[in-house]
Chain A
Amino acid sequence: MNRILSKALTGALLMVVAAACTDLGVEPRSTVTDVNVFRDQASYRAFIAKIYAGLAVSGQQGPHGQPDIEGIDEGFSQYLRLYWELQELPADAAVIAWGDVGLPEMNTQLWAVNNNFVGGMYYRVFYQVVLANEFLRQTTEAKLTERGHTSSALRAEITQYRAEARFLRALSYWHGLDFFGRIPLLTEADILGTLPPQRTPTEVYDFVVSELNAILADLPAAGPATYGRATAGAAQMLLAKLYLNAEVYTGTPNYTGALTAASAVIAGPYSLTPVYVNNFLADNHTSPEIIFPVTQDGLRTRTWGAMTFLIHASIGYNDGMSPGSYGVDGGWGGIRLKPEAYQLFGAGDTRSSYFYTPNHTVGVAALGEFRNGIAAPKFSNVTSTAAPGSHSQHVDTDFPMFRLADAYLMYAEAHLRGGGGNATTALDYVNALRVRAYGDSTGVIIAPQLTLDFILDERGRELLWEAHRRNDLIRYGRFTGSAYTWSWKGGTEAGGSTPDHLKLYPIPANELIGNPNLTQNQGY
């Protein structure tokens, strides 16, 4: 009996061993993979939506969670927040009170090569680029055919999406070019896993311009149905930006191009909204003036960056400002005006109507003190009918990355810089803004007053805190050097001269280590 049992036991044991296997095949179940994701045709839409959301939120969970980029606080890492900080803080427009590592230096142009906000922006730019490239790789004719996605409606939709992906890639490349100059240029032809080479600014510029011109016909038409998406108007606007700054980027000016592109925008279906501040409120998606927004929604598009940051950080908690009147739950006490920005505004200009002066000084004696510097809650989470937004922490207010007024001012500037066009038209455009600003003709200027200096100041008034200032000052040759100094430029309250290499931000030190193809910008 025992013998039989023991043999049976031995046999069973060996069988168990033999039945066991070495199969390690385990695949994700609650996430989708590249194998199955495009079985659902809706995935294309979700993917292009992500590239847009890359500008608006910080990750796959709102307001935070599953961040897109790492190594920096997720709220800090948000694209628009970084973009805004890099355009406004080192210029004459804004100071931020907080002492977070790397942030105070942004107020003063004293950033370290390792500055984490500068690095964050660099990685945001390339995150968008890589997403767009991946989208383009996944939506080629060959791939669509291979998956049997041949319906003409879907093909038409994807043609638009592809153009939009290329627009978003061009937009980020423009930001990269503007901030960093010599950057790598990756397209959908570059497979992942290779270290990209560095390109000259001219090469990047040429690529972006050719991309934009190539997609103009494929982009969706402007209108309420495509609000939030890139249209031909947005592409023309971006072209105008590139051409206007062409001399900075490539050494060769192209003001004619700038004027032409700006004219194309102006010829589009856009018009000035009658009330200036309505461009910056919780219902600004209804403004006919906005050409390309970064959209926000208190319930459905949430982040700790973008407009949540811009609105909360503009409000103090200790100075009598009432957060409720801006539709939010509290102020973060962060950003306010540098005195030079405040002093641009004349009496009667309603574009400064939202400034909050009680308990604030005009001068900024201490960067860390919110009450030093005038508060400027330009953006607000209440609607044009004074109703609060849908949520008191996360806001409904969209960011007008491109709006018509900017096209007017670019037209006038391109004209003054020799780009052709018509002097009367230029003056009319500027006065259109002035009339709206003053509510009557008191602000109207006459032809001799329309100078380049006037345009720079007018841009400072009209486009205050809309993330244009550093770019404008560089084009005017005033961002660095001693031609124009402002409070805290170079690290002192009086302001001083700064070296020219600061016109470009440093390429993050880690990039230089990890990618031997790269060399640092001069001066760093």
Chain B
Amino acid sequence: MRRLHYFMGALVALCCIAPHPLHAQQPTSTIRGRVTDNTTQQPISGATVTVGGRGVVTQADGRYTILGVPAGSDLLRARMIGYTLVSQPIMVAGGDTLVVDIALTGNAVTLSEVVVTGYGEERAGNITGAVTQVSAEEFNPGRVISAEQLIQSKIPGVHIVDNNEPGGGIAIRTRGAATVGAGNDPLYVIDGIPVGIARGAGGGLSAGRNPLNFLNPNDIETITVLRDGSSAAIYGANAASGVVIIQTKSGRNRPQFEYSGTSSASTVTRLPDMLDANQYRAAVMAYGDTTQQNQLLNANTNWFDLVNQTGFGQEHNFSVAGSGDRTTWRLSTGYLDQAGILRSTELQRLSLGLNLQHRMFDDRLLVRTSLRGSRVFDRFTPGGVLSNAAQMGPTQPAFDSTAPTGFYDWPGNRLTSADNPLAILALAKDRGTTYRSVGNLQAAYDLPFARGLQANINLAYDVTRMDRVTFTPSVLHSQTKTGNGGSDYRANQSEVNSTLETYLKYAVPFDVGPGRLDLTGGYSFSQSAGDYPWYLASGLTTDVLGGDGVAAATTVQNFRDIQESRLVSFFGRANYNVNDRYLASLSFRRDGSSRFGPTNQWGTFPALSLGWRLSEESFMDNVASLSDLKLRFGWGRTGNQAIPNYQQFAAYLLGDAQSQAQFGSEFVPTMRPSSYNPTIKWESTESVNLGVDFGFMNQRVSGSLDWYTKKTSDLIFRAPVPAGYTIGNYVWRNIGTMRNRGVELALSAQALSPSEGGLRWTADFTAARNSNEMLSIYPSAGTTTVLTGLVAGGVGTFIQVLQPGQPINSFYVYQHIRGSDGRPIYEDRTGLTNGQFNGTPDGTINEQDLYVDINGDNVINQDDRRPFHDPAPKWILGHSSYFTYGGLELNFTLRAYLGNYVYNNVASNLGTYAEVTRGSPYNLHASVLETDFTTPQYLSDYYVEEASFLRMDNITAAYSFDYRGQPVRAFATVQSAFTLTGYNGVDPTAGVNGLDNNIYPRSRTFTAGLGVRF
């Protein structure tokens, strides 16, 4: 509390020392007028108009008023970035009012665009951090379910990885991974509302898919990404992975109705390469024995063909929006229904949004509200469909009229035999419903007693309720073979997040030294309360209720988890601008988080950035074609608190009814103390950014080049501890440091200029290189390597590693010896004597025959694994082209990754003849035809494949025309049109961690749509 008082005191003092308008000794005059764009006649807001030492900034309508101008002749200057400076001599007599309207001529007007930043906005040309804003006309077209997909390939250094499922989870990595164990999502700020803070930076609660699905992408006006530490640091504790600021659309001009609708069809692009019926039969005949061979039937079933489908979708968006003198408003509703390319996958969204702005009290008070609500209904393809489609024998039929379910199952009810995926699709259910509403009320009030001082308040809420039901009937093979009976799982969870922010902004109404000073300072309080109960009943007495009712069950497990967290912050920023030429920004944030122990709750996150617009210097005047050249430097520290709550408390965890201890004839439920760490502290990321922005020919060609390095210290990770040091062998602790370094290039060119009605071509390029390295793991952490990347095959098989000197999640595998034909060898080469190679074949093929003895100890064991490539792309390249000719448009976006690697887990798990010796033989991955493995080799580097690719992300053709005076736009889009890659698995973008294990296949989507306004 005391801290707060000091802070508020400082703010008030700041207001008080602000001098009031100069009191003239003699009668003075007033100059007023309006600043407009010479070409468009539109008012220009934010232009600086000065006379002598007095300066003001124009309002939204372009108007300005300068008071207290002493009599005499002087020079009136109007300046706006992206426009040519206007100087006009004036002569004022005492006591009168002079009206001077000024028209500015644009030379690089894109520089004057307003870009939203943390707690404010800035002209594009004056930005000193690495900030990129993408607006609606540049968004990716087609069937887009979640906001992140709109900007894929549009911003260098922003790596967006979807999981292919419609509405499925999306990971964003800004300039590589910022952490290894805490959350890696950026902070999302929607209309000023930081969402999902309960889980760290981004996201929120959902019934299973992307939490941001609540937001209708059609409502979004701009998405801005704060990539570097200096621009993001004002969000302190949540900003280590960057900040994504989403602004929704509001009304313009006269009231207008708008409708857009699309229909789409998606088809599968690639599936795992399994053996066909003949190859499978041959494999079983060669490697199985009579038990397996006798089970083979004569069908020819392609199981993947039976579980995938053409996914149809439709979307309808309707909005009505307008603006008047004082009020701007937009009301929108949307409906989306999208089926997946696997049967039983579906997403339905019904959304509603309202934006309302009203100015009152002589425009001193601006009240804004943004309200969004949605219901998302998800149907999931039940678990096991993909893996069983891979494993099920192609010689077996899909249906069996004699079976109780009507579906064929392997005989003998063996634990290891695959289940019929069609039976799972038909009988099991997995669905969820999420209701989420996010809204806020904001007020900005220009205080009457101090010109330039504005008080802001932002009250925001984020309420989610989700229900998920998974029902597995007892008749399914997966249940009969284990004897578990039917099961019914339900989770009914809710989360309420609320945020209060108050801040003062002070645009100092006079020059401070040679430049203008803007100050922002404030306070933020966020809290989150979640209630996460679940219930699991297994051994249901009846399947009749189908997951909709509660049937008696053999085993019932109940769990309830209440989670609360708070984040309290103070923040401030000073921007200093000398004639748009020398720019400086200084910010700080102090955050207190309930997730850390009392001694480490508070963290400080300062930032500094500087800009020098060389193009404003007189010595650059002779470079006529140069319209912008700016050097930028930024340094900032950001934090990460995306770890579970309560790690600092010595908590006791109750055991459930299935983990009791027997005392005599009694069973006693248990209770254990949990590991905890009262000293856990902030993870902090320090970053340096050096950038240059450039533009030529009035910004016809423009771009930016950035170099950055960012180092994360005190990485929070659930990591091992020496025995006896605490309870348990793992605890959340600060264990190491990591670095990301890279360069980013963005280039935009109007390759063909917009001559009247002619062909116009705008081309954008992005290129980003990032290299990641785990620098150290603290010696006291009790480990030098941490295994990650659990894969299918065996039990507890980890395929990746965190190891100092290597990129995080490097694959950690044996080096497979290759034969002269390049294939991994599979032959008996040596036996062992006293545990050492003896060079004499011993009749069996073991690890010692196949792998390189990395540590040279003459035996092959787990110590011979070594880090080998990693999943992160080294280069990400993007290209978008926009062609227009009259009413015709053609756009496309290309994307390429270079140097990313994927572990093909379908191949490693099913690419061995051992799998046909199961009780009922599994189908095999076609790689077995090359490798001839008869035992699984999960840790062979053979399965780590380079997955560089070039993909046509989307192509759109559109035609705009007038129908009865109303504009109509018809368009068609193909998404994922083609992918060129040497990777053999399902998708070279197989998740952030590069593990391809029966992942949801990628779809190619054809969309046609129509938009009208009236």
CB distance from A26 to the nearest CB of B (A): 4
B362 is an interface residue with CB less than 8 A from chain A: yes
A331 is an interface residue with CB less than 8 A from chain B: yes
Is A16 in contact with B502, judged by CB distance below 8 angstroms?
Answer: yes
Is A61 in contact with B655, judged by CB distance below 8 angstroms?
Answer: yes
> Which of B651, B664, B787 interacts with A228 by CB under 8 Å?
B664
Is B914 in contact with A323, judged by CB distance below 8 angstroms?
Answer: no
A122 is an interface residue with CB less than 8 A from chain B: yes
**Would you list which residues of chain A between 493 and 524 have a CB under 8 Å from chain B?**
493, 496-499, 510-511, 513-515
CB distance from A158 to the nearest CB of B (A): 14
Question: Complex: how many Å from CA A317 to CA B412?
Answer: 10
Given contacts A69-B728, A100-B796, contact A18 B8 (CB under 8 A): yes
Q: Which residues of A contact B4 (CB under 8 A)?
A: 17-18, 20-22
Q: Which residues of B contact A510 (CB under 8 A)?
A: 720, 722, 782-784
Is B834 in contact with A329, judged by CB distance below 8 angstroms?
Answer: no
The stretch among B264-272, B371-379, B479-487 that forms the contact with chain A is B479-487
Is B726 in contact with A193, judged by CB distance below 8 angstroms?
Answer: yes
Q: Which residues of A contact B361 (CB under 8 A)?
A: 2, 5-6
Is B661 in contact with A49, judged by CB distance below 8 angstroms?
Answer: yes
User: Of all chain B residues, which has the CB nearest A133?
Assistant: B724
CB distance from A426 to the nearest CB of B (A): 34
CB distance from A517 to the nearest CB of B (A): 9
Is B658 in contact with A63, judged by CB distance below 8 angstroms?
Answer: yes
**Would you list which residues of chain A between 324 and 376 have a CB under 8 Å from chain B?**
329-332, 365-368
Given contacts A26-B565, A30-B560, A511-B782, contact A49 B939 (CB under 8 A): no
Question: Complex: how many Å from CA A98 to CA B794?
Answer: 7
Is A13 in contact with B727, judged by CB distance below 8 angstroms?
Answer: no
Is A33 in contact with B415, judged by CB distance below 8 angstroms?
Answer: no
Q: Which residues of A contact B541 (CB under 8 A)?
A: none
The stretch among B97-105, B670-678, B755-763 that forms the contact with chain A is B670-678
Is A228 in contact with B722, judged by CB distance below 8 angstroms?
Answer: no
Is A330 in contact with B794, judged by CB distance below 8 angstroms?
Answer: no
Question: Complex: how many Å from CA A14 to CA B416?
Answer: 68
CB distance from B66 to the nearest CB of A (A): 23
Question: Complex: how many Å from CA A515 to CA B672?
Answer: 25
Q: B624-653: contact bitstring with A at CB < 8 Å (1 yes, 0 no)? A: 000000000000000000000110011111
A127 is an interface residue with CB less than 8 A from chain B: yes
Q: B409-438: contact bitstring with A at CB < 8 Å (1 yes, 0 no)? A: 000001110000000000000000000000
Is B779 in contact with A513, judged by CB distance below 8 angstroms?
Answer: yes
Given contacts A24-B594, A126-B723, contact A50 B671 (CB under 8 A): yes
**Would you list which residues of chain B between 713 and 743 have a CB under 8 Å from chain A?**
718, 720-730
Is B783 in contact with A301, judged by CB distance below 8 angstroms?
Answer: no
CB distance from A90 to the nearest CB of B (A): 12
> Which of A301, A392, A499 interacts with B667 by CB under 8 Å?
A301
Is A71 in contact with B8, judged by CB distance below 8 angstroms?
Answer: no
> Which of A75, A112, A366 interacts with B863 by CB under 8 Å?
A112
CB distance from A159 to the nearest CB of B (A): 16
Is A10 in contact with B455, judged by CB distance below 8 angstroms?
Answer: yes
B239 is an interface residue with CB less than 8 A from chain A: no
User: Of all chain B residues, which has the CB nearest A2?
Assistant: B361
Is B844 in contact with A366, judged by CB distance below 8 angstroms?
Answer: yes
Question: Complex: how many Å from CA A34 to CA B676?
Answer: 12
User: Of all chain A residues, which has the CB nearest B456?
Assistant: A13
Is B726 in contact with A111, judged by CB distance below 8 angstroms?
Answer: no
Given contacts A13-B457, A26-B565, A27-B649, contact A224 B665 (CB under 8 A): yes
Q: A122-158: contact bitstring with B at CB < 8 Å (1 yes, 0 no)? A: 1101110111001000000000000000000000000
Q: Which residues of B contact A301 (CB under 8 A)?
A: 658-662, 667
Q: Which residues of B contact A514 (CB under 8 A)?
A: 720-722, 725, 779-783
Given contacts A26-B564, A393-B483, A514-B781, contact A318 B291 (CB under 8 A): yes
Is A227 in contact with B668, judged by CB distance below 8 angstroms?
Answer: no
Is B365 in contact with A9, judged by CB distance below 8 angstroms?
Answer: yes
Q: A181-209: contact bitstring with B at CB < 8 Å (1 yes, 0 no)? A: 00010100010111110000000000000
Is B660 in contact with A20, judged by CB distance below 8 angstroms?
Answer: no
Is A26 in contact with B645, judged by CB distance below 8 angstroms?
Answer: yes
A302 is an interface residue with CB less than 8 A from chain B: yes
Question: Complex: how many Å from CA A99 to CA B845?
Answer: 13
Is A186 in contact with B652, judged by CB distance below 8 angstroms?
Answer: no
Q: Which residues of B contact A499 (CB under 8 A)?
A: 834-835
Q: A61-74: contact bitstring with B at CB < 8 Å (1 yes, 0 no)? A: 11101101111110
Q: B844-855: contact bitstring with A at CB < 8 Å (1 yes, 0 no)? A: 101110000000
Is B500 in contact with A16, judged by CB distance below 8 angstroms?
Answer: yes
CB distance from B39 to the nearest CB of A (A): 38
Question: Complex: how many Å from CA A53 to CA B345?
Answer: 41
Is A71 in contact with B664, judged by CB distance below 8 angstroms?
Answer: no
Is A49 in contact with B668, judged by CB distance below 8 angstroms?
Answer: yes
Please indicate which of the listed interface residues B364, B484, B566, B659 has the most CB atoms of chain A within 10 Å of its own CB: B659
Question: Complex: how many Å from CA A242 to CA B241?
Answer: 56
B282 is an interface residue with CB less than 8 A from chain A: no
Q: A49-93: contact bitstring with B at CB < 8 Å (1 yes, 0 no)? A: 110110011011111011011111101100000000000000000
Question: Complex: how many Å from CA A29 to CA B564?
Answer: 9
CB distance from B31 to the nearest CB of A (A): 26
Is A33 in contact with B565, judged by CB distance below 8 angstroms?
Answer: no
> Which of B481, B650, B862 interacts with A112 by CB under 8 Å?
B862
Given contacts A26-B645, A99-B794, A112-B861, contact A184 B724 (CB under 8 A): yes
B964 is an interface residue with CB less than 8 A from chain A: no
> Which of B8, B557, B594, B720 interacts with A17 by CB under 8 Å?
B8
Question: Complex: how many Å from CA A24 to CA B416?
Answer: 51
Q: Which residues of B contact A233 (CB under 8 A)?
A: none
Question: Complex: how many Å from CA A474 to CA B416?
Answer: 38
Q: Which residues of B contact A21 (CB under 8 A)?
A: 1, 4, 525, 568
Q: Which residues of A contact B292 (CB under 8 A)?
A: 318
**Would you list which residues of chain B between 524 and 574 have a CB under 8 Å from chain A?**
525, 554-555, 557, 560-562, 564-566, 568
Q: Which residues of B contact A33 (CB under 8 A)?
A: 649-652
CB distance from B732 to the nearest CB of A (A): 11
Question: Complex: how many Å from CA A193 to CA B731?
Answer: 12
CB distance from A223 to the nearest CB of B (A): 8
Q: A27-38: contact bitstring with B at CB < 8 Å (1 yes, 0 no)? A: 111111110010
Given contacts A21-B4, A511-B723, contact A16 B834 (CB under 8 A): no
B169 is an interface residue with CB less than 8 A from chain A: no
A102 is an interface residue with CB less than 8 A from chain B: yes
A451 is an interface residue with CB less than 8 A from chain B: no
Question: Complex: how many Å from CA A112 to CA B858?
Answer: 12
Is B661 in contact with A53, judged by CB distance below 8 angstroms?
Answer: yes
A456 is an interface residue with CB less than 8 A from chain B: no
Q: Which residues of A contact B601 (CB under 8 A)?
A: 24
Provide 21 A-B residue pairs closer than 8 Å at the C-beta atoms, listed in order of the A residue. Answer: A16-B457, A21-B568, A23-B566, A28-B645, A28-B651, A30-B562, A32-B651, A32-B652, A37-B671, A62-B657, A104-B847, A114-B863, A127-B727, A127-B728, A129-B724, A134-B673, A225-B665, A227-B662, A300-B660, A318-B917, A513-B783
Q: A76-B796, A493-B844 are in contact. List 5 more A-B contacts (CB 8 A).
A: A32-B654, A62-B660, A114-B863, A332-B415, A491-B832
Chain A interfacial positions (CB closer than 8 Å to B) = 2-3, 5-6, 9-10, 13-14, 16-18, 20-34, 37, 43, 45-47, 49-50, 52-53, 56-57, 59-63, 65-66, 68-73, 75-76, 98-102, 104-105, 108-116, 122-123, 125-127, 129-131, 134, 184, 186, 190, 192-196, 224-229, 285, 295, 297, 299-303, 317-318, 323, 329-332, 365-368, 391-394, 490-493, 496-499, 510-511, 513-515
Chain B interfacial positions (CB closer than 8 Å to A) = 1, 3-4, 8, 289, 291-292, 361-362, 364-365, 414-416, 443, 445, 447-448, 455, 457, 481-484, 500, 502, 523, 525, 554-555, 557, 560-562, 564-566, 568, 592-594, 601, 645-646, 649-665, 667-674, 718, 720-730, 779-784, 787, 794-798, 831-835, 842-844, 846-848, 859, 861-863, 914, 917-919, 935-936, 938-939
Give me the 9 closest cross-chain CB pairs, A-B, nearest first: A514-B782, A330-B415, A73-B796, A62-B658, A126-B723, A491-B832, A392-B483, A46-B671, A514-B722
